[in-house]
Structure 1
Amino acid sequence: MLPRRSIVSLGHVISKKLSTNATKPKTGVIMVNMGGPERVDQVHDYLHKIMTDRDMIQLPIAQDRLGAWIAKRRTPEVQKKYAEIGGGSPILKWTKLQGKLMCEMLDNQSPETGPHKPYVAFRYVEPFAQDAFAEVEKDGIEHAIIFSQYPQYSCATSGSSFNEIYRLFKRRAPPNGMKLTVIDRWPTHPLLAKCFADNIRKELEQIPENKRRDAIILFSAHSLPLKAVNRGDAYPSEVGATVHQVMQELNFSHPYQLVWQSKVGPLPWLGPMTDEAIKGYVKQGKKTMIVVPIAFVNEHIETLHELDIEYCKDLAKEVGVEIIRRVSAPNDHPLFIQALADIVKSHIKNKVPVSAKFLNRCPHCTNANCINSKKWYSEVCSF
């Protein structure tokens, strides 16, 4: 018979082991996004990674050298913009908070697949995919869900992030025994639409009643080069689907228009551009507007600077807009957190490891990364 002290000590070890097992994460949710520099001194590296990524931008010649030159040339201007919004992007802060709240909700709603743990995998700034998956492997996750934080799929954003994860595991095998599945898009999720609609209503309520009915809702999304649209990129149609879903929630109560922002370079891009649309409506005598960042799930440079400062402040004053209000990104809105949790829960319940749409390439795709990447996901993803 063991002495009492040994029994107490053994009991402590067993208790500690059971406690560790109880808190060990079982399902990992890898939240994939472009990311943004938290500090001004990270801007150059961030731009360099974007401009030399052929999945994101296809420069006509010498992508590495020309992309590096463009990044260096644009750095001071972009650094100034980040300084004007507080010195850096809040996208990591928001993504971490969204992941924490989502996993807390999943632990309550789906304890059989928990504990759940969020991981962040940014494309152009830390934490990168390799950082996220190193942590996933260290935690011994049983089921890793790659969850795109771009609601609408584009080859330039979602596609580049998924291709980067493929390249990571091309160099080394995924952890043994870990299931890998993919959530690649969710443009028409009902709770996403309800979240946007709720935020729009809040801004409409701030407009005087005699002006409110005539307010035009401008849904603004990052544009794409027309050559990408003509190649077959699904992004424009999926953004349009989100807009329609949101307006259904609002009972089509106001005039609305889908517009596009953030054009870079001389090539033709998808329009009308947000700034040109604002000018055009003012010329028509329509001077009350609501601007909605419909393709962004958290605040960053394109909402805080381009929309807030360049358009809603400077441009609006210049062209004579009377009232213009910008709707918040979903951020930590309770309906948005519910949407994230429901998307993950439904994905697990439906047991479709990777969607047929994701595995299908654009009709005019010539990108070898996509060919190899989609083949890899079709082979490794399973429940």
Structure 2
Amino acid sequence: MSFNPIASRRLWGNSTSVLRSASSSWRLNTPRSCGLATVVPPVTQDATGAKGPTAMVFMNMGGPSTTNEVHDFLSRLFSDGDLIPLGRLQSYMGPLIARRRTPKIQQQYSDIGGGSPIRKWSEYQCEEMCKILDQISPETAPHKPYVAFRYAAPLTETMYAQLLKDGFGNGKGGRAVAFTQYPQYSCSTTGSSLNELWKWRNRLEGKNADGEVDAAGAIKWSVIDRWPTHAGLVEAFAQNIEAQLKTYPEDKRDSVVLLFSAHSLPMSVVNRGDPYPAEVAATVHAVMKRLNFSNPYRLCWQSQVGPSAWLGAQTSDTVMNYVNRGHTDLVLVPIAFTSDHIETLYELDLEVMHEANSPGVKRAESLNGNPTFIRALADIAHEHLQEGESCSAQMTLRCQGCRSERCLEQKKFFAGERSHLVQ
């Protein structure tokens, strides 16, 4: 989410490109559950290849897998100035807010089953993607799956230490791909995760005498930094929407309102030039184009907090306004997430839909283990490996109002040969 993903009222309380024609391989009749994320089967890595290995690192915000992990998760989250800027008081206010919010957030995770399923789904998605990559990209196999969360286990530093233990870097070289699981880029999410990865790369692999951080024998990194209109992503979203629309009577189906929901951003971040709003809108338009614009639709934004201006309209307000106007058939579509987590299972399912109190207000299934989506991940990764680019051209361009030296240096590092373009 490419956005400010967890700065929500649940955590804060009162404390302050063009879509390609999807091939038939995307149009799978995949099974779909209507409840919580189901337990995934065990998976194994059995790839072989000649020129590998290649480490495939899924980056995401993460979430506490148990209620006992909630406090540490919140402490890291509120201490991240990229995500929630608190200025000079960050080191004091972050832990204070975390302590105050922990009991309530623990209860919310209890209400969705005792923890977030995001680690389970991330590990499953990455492992399954790597199996496909071993088949379609044998020259870069074996592809080894890793997950790096920003605020929960497995943390970025844990992942990096495992890379070194597994034989990457430390004079041995090797290739690793940082694959953001925020399809739409934001400085507060993908940017923050890359800042953390850059920090631990410097700490664990160090600099040579000249201060160079890309010394021979270190891990060679490249980045998949955004993919908002990839055909497979669009197809997976469209399939889940179509499946939910089929639950409505046929004579009402075309009038069901589709409400695409993504995390909001403070207008101060938007006005700085963060690309997230435009990229989310691009995803929505691509999905609606795939659906032949079959239904009326709107894009709305979750989780505005505090007195400052945020990007709107808010999802909760939008649902209630439409229901009060007689539009009681609505499908909520989480458009900036790659799996279920507290924002879908609690905020949308247990707050927004409960408040609407209308049987016609439903939610499209999250991407989770959707085979179409996993195939899309493999396609994105394969294309990246074949192109040999260190990152997208977009990543070399800083936000218009960016003043962060850390952002500048991180972008220069991951841009590699394109670093001269970063200013």
Assess same fold via TM > 0.5: yes
Is 1:301 aligned with 2:342?
yes
Residue 177 and residue 162 in structure 1: after superposition, are their counterparts in 2 closer, same or farther (change >3 A)? closer
Match of 1:5 in 2: none
Conservation of the 8 A alpha-carbon contact between 2:81 and 2:87: no
Aligned-partner residue type, residue 86 of structure 1: G
Are 1:155 and 2:187 an aligned pair? yes
1:72 aligns with 2:99: yes
CA distance change for structure 1 residues 287 and 91 in 2, over 3 Å: closer, same or farther? same
The equivalences for 1:306-317 within 5 A come to: 306-312=347-353, 314-317=354-357
C-alpha RMSD of matched pairs (Å): 2.0
Equivalence for 2:81: 54
Compute the displacement of 1:359 (Å): 2.1
Task: Verify the 8 A CA contact 1:36 1:91 in the aligned structure 2.
Answer: yes
Question: Aligned-pair distance for 1:60?
Answer: 4.6
For the pair 1:217 / 2:244, whether they are aligned, the reply is no
- Residue 200 (structure 2) aligns with: 168
The answer to whether residue 219 in structure 2 is matched with residue 178 in structure 1 is yes
* Kept after mapping to 2: 8 A contact 1:180/1:381: no
Kept in 2, the 8 Å contact 1:121–1:129? The answer is yes
- Offset, 1:23: 9.6
1:156 is paired with a residue whose SS is: coil
| Aligned twin of 1:240 | 281
Higher helix share: 1
How many pairs does the alignment contain?
360
CA-CA distance at 1:262 after TM superposition: 2.0
Structure 1 CA distance for aligned equivalents of residues 381 and 411 of structure 2: 21
Give the CA deviation at 1:228: 0.4
1:103 and 2:140 matched: no
Residue 349 (str. 1) matches residue 381 (str. 2): no
Q: Which has the larger radius of gyration?
A: 1
Give the letter aligned to residue 356 of structure 2.
A
How far apart are the structure 2 equivalents of 1:52 and 1:371? 21
> Aligned partners of 2:362, 2:47: CA distance in 1, in Å?
49
Greater RCO between the two (CA within 8 Å, min separation 6)? 2
Offset, 1:22: 6.1
Equivalent runs, 1:1-383 vs 2, <5 Å: 26-141=53-168, 142-173=174-205, 176=217, 178-312=219-353, 314-317=354-357, 321-379=358-416
> 1:247 Cα deviation (Å)?
0.3
Q: Say which is worse superposed, 250-259 or 203-212, in terms of deviation.
A: 203-212
Asked if 2 retains the 8 angstrom alpha-carbon contact of 1:262 and 1:302, the reply is no
Post-superposition offset of 1:381: 8.5
Gaps of 5+ in 1: 1-18
Counterpart CA distance in 2 for 1:103 and 1:140 is: 18
Q: Aligned-pair distance for 1:353?
A: 1.1
Q: Which amino acid aligns with 1:377?
A: F
* 1:381–1:48 distance in 2 versus 1, CA, 3 Å: farther
Could you tell me how far apart the structure 2 residues matched to 1:50 and 1:165 are? 16
Task: Quote the offset at 1:122 in angstroms.
Answer: 0.2
CA shift, 1:143, in A, is 1.3
How far is 1:129 from its partner?
A: 1.3
- Structure 2 stretches lacking a partner, 5+ long: 1-45, 169-173, 207-215
Identity of counterpart residues, as a percentage?
Answer: 47
Amino acid at match of 1:302: E
Report the equivalent of 2:5: none
Distance in structure 2 (CA, Å) of the matches to 1:291 and 1:252: 16
3-state DSSP class of the match of 2:255? coil
Provide TM-score, normalisation by structure 2.
0.82
In structure 1, what is the Cα distance between the partners aligned to 2:344 and 2:269?
Answer: 23
